[in-house]
A = this chain, B = another copy of it.
Amino acid sequence: MERTRKPQQERAKKTVEAIIEAGFMFISRQSKETLTTTKVADIAGVSVGTLYEYFGNKEEILDAMYARFSEDVTAMLREVTPEVIRKTPDQGILHILQHLREMLSRDNQRYLHCAALLSQNLPEQHVAPIRQVLATLSLQYLSRNPEYINLPNLPVMNYIMTHGGIAALVHQLSSDDPMVTFDELSQGLATMARHMIEGSRRDAEQANP
């Protein structure tokens, strides 16, 4: 027997939506630490009791926000996949990053305003689906561009690119005074991928002339 319920009627869905929305509003002005269920309920225009009908505890509100973000990223990735797999690796990466920036700027830059929260607290549980979709994208890419399949180190390179790339991006986006611009970083990641691929190829040729 669940202690929280799923919204069934239209107004209940609006309520849940308002609560998540209130969460984003609050976080964009204040921090995770100063967030209280009462304040979120107030902003959402509902009572605490109502809030607890749909969210078992405070964390679940944040979880819903993280999930929303994660879904938006994965949706974007799935959407651009067909175009990306037609490009060179570095151009594909640039393509993804341009769409990412566009996505982060939607809704009056909602996500960018919450960058501190998302970069410092996004739990692995919600990052995992993003990695998953990136892995799928890589596979599709290889399937359409088999010339890259034989590269040695491919799994490790992939691992570093996805984990490291996400981290570098997130850090750039949430920094007040970034050491590099988003464009420089995008370009750098794309260039890095190109060099890694070319380098691996050379290594392979060296070993197997």
Contact = CB atoms under 8 A, between A and B. Distances in A.
Interface of A: 120, 123-124, 153, 155-157, 159-160, 163-168, 171, 174, 179-180, 184-185, 187-189, 191-192, 194-196, 198-200, 202-203
B199 A184 contact: no
Contacts of A203: 191
Given A195-B195, A196-B192, A196-B196, A163 B168 contact: yes
A134 to B, nearest CB: 12
Contacts of A198: 195, 199, 202
B180 A191 contact: no
Q: Is the interface of A mostly helix, strand, loop or mixed?
A: helix
24 contacts: A120-B124, A124-B171, A124-B174, A153-B188, A153-B191, A155-B180, A156-B180, A159-B168, A159-B179, A160-B168, A160-B189, A160-B192, A163-B164, A163-B167, A163-B168, A163-B171, A164-B165, A167-B167, A191-B200, A191-B203, A194-B199, A195-B195, A195-B200, A196-B196
B156 A187 contact: yes
A202 B123 CA distance: 40
Q: Taking each of A165, A167, A184, which has the highest tally of chain B beta carbons within 10 Å of its own beta carbon? A: A167
A99 to B, nearest CB: 20
Given A167-B167, A191-B153, A195-B195, A160 B179 contact: no
Nearest to A125: B120
A103 B146 CA distance: 41
Contacts of A200: 191, 195
A197 to B, nearest CB: 8
Given A160-B185, A167-B167, A198-B202, 12 more contacts: A155-B179, A155-B180, A159-B179, A159-B185, A159-B188, A160-B168, A160-B189, A163-B167, A192-B196, A195-B195, A195-B199, A199-B199
